Amino acid sequence: VDIAVVDENGDDVPANTKGYLVIRNPWPGMLLTLWGDDEKYKKVYWSKYENCYYPGDYALKDEDGYLWLLGRADDVLKVAGHRIGTAELESCIVSHSDVAEAAVCGIPDDVKGEVIIAFAVLKQGVTGSTNLENELSEKIRKDIGAIATPKQIYFVSRLPKTRSGKIMRRLLKAIANNETIGDVSTLEDGAAVNEIQNAFDEIKKSIDETR
C-alpha cells in the first residue's frame, strides 16, 4: 500500500511534519463505494487530491517511515497558520497526572484566526486551580509548542458525550461561541452541557467584574 503524508497542495511533506494521510494505489479490500451513492463516495474520498484516496485523517511520518495518526482532519485547529490536531493536544493534557479526560475546541479570533479553548476533567480528589492551569499550559508549550497554548482551560466534572462515548466537540464549540447547541438526541448526559455552560458563564462574569 502506497501511503503518504501530504500538504494542502498534495505534495509530500518532510519527515516529522504534520499533514494529510493519502493512499495513492488501490489495495485488496479497499472501500469501493457507498451503498446507493457512488457520487458521494467520489466526493468524500477522491475529490480532495487527484488520483489519491483521502480517508480524512491527519498524520505524520517519522524518519523511520512509521506513520502516526493525529486524529481526524476535520478536528484540526488552525491557529495563526499552524495546524494543531485536537487528539494531539488532548493527549498532551491527559498525560498530566491530575487529568482524567480532556477536550479542546477552537473559537474565532481576529488576530490568529482561531484560538484554543480546553476542558479538563480532573481525577478524583484533585481540585482545579490557577497553578494547575499554569502547569497544563506549560506542559503544552513544552510538548507541542507555544502556538498550541489554550487561551483558557476550564475544569469540569464531565464532558458531553454520545451514548457510544464520543466527545461532542461541536457542543463545546457552540457554547464557547454563544451559538445554538442544536440536536442533542444522541447525548449521553445532558447535565454535562449545563455544567459547561455554567463554567463559561462564571468565567465571563469574573472577567466582567474586573473590567
Across 12-16, 93-97, 169-173, 197-201, least confident range: 197-201
Structural domain total, the chain: 2
pLDDT, tens digit, 9 for 90 and up, residues 158-182:
887 777 777 777 778 877 777 766 6
For residue 56, give the nearest of 43, 39, 66, 37 by alpha carbon: 43
Alpha-carbon gap, residue 115 to 104, rounded angstroms: 10
Around Cβ 137, how many Cβ atoms within 10 Å?
19
Give the domain CATH number at 27: 2.30.38.10
Same domain? For 104 and 170 the reply is yes
Average pLDDT over residues 14-32: 88
Same domain? For 188 and 131 the reply is yes
Same domain? For 89 and 182 the reply is yes
Write the single-letter amino acid at 6. V
User: Among 65, 94, 119, where does a domain finish?
Assistant: 65
Same domain? For 107 and 29 the reply is no
Alpha-carbon gap, residue 50 to 101, rounded angstroms: 38
Alpha-carbon gap, residue 179 to 84, rounded angstroms: 23
Active site residue 11: no
pLDDT confidence tier of residue 203, bands split at 50, 70 and 90:
very low
Question: Catalytic: which of 74, 109, 189, 201?
Answer: 74
pLDDT confidence tier of residue 85, bands split at 50, 70 and 90:
confident
Mean pLDDT of the chain: 83
pTM over 0.75: no
pLDDT at res. 29: 84
pLDDT at res. 210: 36
The residue segments making up the domain with residue 192 are 75-210
pLDDT confidence tier of residue 52, bands split at 50, 70 and 90:
very high
Report if residue 70 sits inside a domain: no
